Structure 1
Amino acid sequence: MFRDAVNLTNEAPRIKLYHLEKALVGDAMGLIDVKTISDGNYEHAWKLLEERFEDKRRMIDIHIAGLLGTKKIPKDDYADLRTLVETITGHVKNLKFLNQQFTGVSELIVVHLVARSLDATTKKEWESTIKRGELPTYENTITFLKDRVSVLERCQSSNEESRSLRGTAKQLTGKSAVSKANTATASSTSDPHCEMCGERHPTFKCSSFNSLSTSERLSKVEERNICFNCLRRGHSVKNCPSKKSCFRCNKKHHTLLHLEGNASSTRPSSESSEEKHSQSNPNSAIGIPGSSKAPVSNKKPETQPLVTVVHTNNPMNLASQVILLTALVQVDDQHQRSRLCKALLDCGSQVSFVTQSLVATLGIEVEEVSVPITGIGNVRSTIKQKCTINVRSRCNDYSFLVNCLVSPKITGRIPSVKINLDNWELPQGLKLADPSFHEPSQIDLLIGMDWFYDIMKPGCLKLNDDLPSLHDSQLGWLVGGKLLERSCSNFAMNSCAVSVDPMEELMHKFWEVESVSPEMVPSSEKEQCEAHFTATYRRDDSGRFILHLPLKDNATRSTSMMTPLEY
């Protein structure tokens, strides 16, 4: 789409490059180096992206694996059948787009994979459309399945509406509708219908919903009057048929709605209106943190305990996260060309690290080593390779050569979730070392204590009490420190502190293992016993050893003592 929109225009290459850089997302963001941008070299930037991401073989393998990985549909459900059709047609279209022939055997293989995934009833209906002796075609099979989806959707939707109406009628007459509500909900859960945007996917997979902060998600759920636990309509949390609960606290609410002890936004409802509110809001009984209508109660429940909203001044109950120091730096490959990568500055590491993928991308030479390292919890491992990388700042002419140990992976994505910068007031005119510090991304390089303080400068700016600080460095202004935020409960903790075992200690342990204790030194008496055994032993027909007992020189010898013994 970008090529259709931009490449065919008469814009200058520098303008095209500007639009291209702004359009990059995910791992591609920041891939274009500063020199290419400053030179306005649009063609070179496009070539870099093609070399990195236009791996035709990998894309074909992904789509073939997707076709082979289709699972069997357990019953004739229109939602599952629609998902199967969309999956199959999507992979086939992409393979055709990659100029792969789809005729003959390849078409029959795909038809076989589709038929293998169908439920028993649908497969019988499909088989009845094929005449004896004829080979099924892909187009006819997909057409049949699309028609089948339409039929099942009309029939199943009518059944669901009937069950829902019967349940409502019983509820109005005062009869219990819990069983019917659960049945209707169970039937509707097979339809991946998003309660937020209306698209065909589960609510918890909605990209617009996931992009919100936790408090904003809570407001959306409450506004649409849907269940706080399964994120679907038609029932209360108390009657939610889902057996799942929050992965973080095991309480009856969805993990996306979890807040760590945050009750500042909770407004308790009056006791007199609690029963009425419970009927109008299906989530009122849960006491979900952050819900503006959740009641706060100090009474002990007689049945299953609820999630309690607690007001406290203890700062440890506030959601907090430490932002680590990251920077975008330029590194040189084997041809002295500049490439952009993300580095983590860690003063808790005695050595620097680089990922195997970055070393492969740079094409630089590595040296075989055997370096033992120790991490958190005294976990030990051994690094087998090292290399030297030329690192240059994006902000000035500062550069340095860093010796790195090569590791398959340094740490997880940092930060683990995207940080909302709406309430941040970053000073104008400051050159950030990592403009995308708030977006999760992979770490390619870890700069340890060997260069940490050489890079840092004395300047420091504090944004406010709830935000991290800005630290001046040779690589630009680094963002790091404690972040107090209501929506950072989904953060994962990262720690990269490692140490190298001293060579003297390792050699000392080696010699301790290899040394021979005084008790192990053979004495002359032991040597005599061994010589006596060698000279006198023999084996009989049954395999037994027969030998004479050894006697000391000052012992009294007798005939009986020289009798051979059998063992």
Structure 2
Amino acid sequence: MKLSRIESLFSEFEELQNQIEEKIAASDLNTELISRELIEQDFNNCISIGRSLVQRGLQPNQPSPHCSNNDSHFTSVNESVSFKLPVIQIPKFDGTYYKWLEFKETFGSLINDNDKIQNIHKFHYLISYLEGEAARVICNLEVSHQNYNEAWKLLCERFDNKRQLISNHLNSLFNFTCERESDKSLRFIIDHVTKNLRALSTLGLPTEKWDVLIIHIVSARLDSTTSLKWEEHRNTLPEIPSLKDLFIFLKCRADVLESVHRNKTKQVTTSKGQTKSLIVTSKGSSLNNSPSCKPSKRTFECMVCKGDYRIFECPDFKSKTPEERVTTATRAINRLCILPIYDASTA
């Protein structure tokens, strides 16, 4: 029943799409044809999968002759998943070296290596995910079926530079600071070091043997309190601790700091049902953050008529001549500033 419904929807889509293409401008026809081809591919995939399922249901002990091994695996995966998976988002690439490996692997597996997508569509996808310096690398290439492979080749030649990638990840690994003790800064250190080491390992470097070096670099950049705690904890570890030991210590330390910070602010309910925030100090006292403790709104007093406004809004002051205004404003008791370029004769 579902297969029949999809096939009837496909027929309705073709009729409506033909009407759209007859009425749109010639300049928009190419874009509409591309959209039509993508939608038709989705319909064809659904219909093909549906027919394969029907045939396998009629002959459960025999694989469908129209299904390859890949199709059978795809069908079995979809049979086991009873919910819609989230769409994989491809990150945009702006030419930053440390983002290249992630973009290359994601775009390559989802689009570049997908034989079901035509090169012209791959080119459009590629342009939509590039910006900045990366977009300028292929900006001179005309968008066409033949030029896609050349565009991807130019990007790889420009950014898939192993020496540059290693250099950038090493610089990122060695250049970071942790000036103050906080749970966020300690978690950042763990994520920052892990990300760069994983990238360097992908590039073929023996990062699994760098534990002593990385521990020395990280411990030298810790804040004074965390550094002291680490040296104390280090005495309980083997003579040469591993990088995993350091990460476990930093994670536990971050958990403690997060708990302490969370407990500093407590919410209490008064007898009238109002909620107040109490900030607990180190000595156990609390500061009340109720609205009554907020500073009062600032008021102004005119120096000419003592009205509740500033002097330049005073009707008496504005009614004076420019020379009289200067005289009033420069009186010592008023202590008002006059711009040096002010000229009463031309005011």
When the two structures are superposed, what TM-score results if normalisation uses the length of structure 2?
A: 0.45
Structure that is richer in strand per residue: 1
Normalised to the residue count of structure 1, the TM-score between the two structures is 0.29
Where is the helix percentage greater, Structure 1 or Structure 2? 2
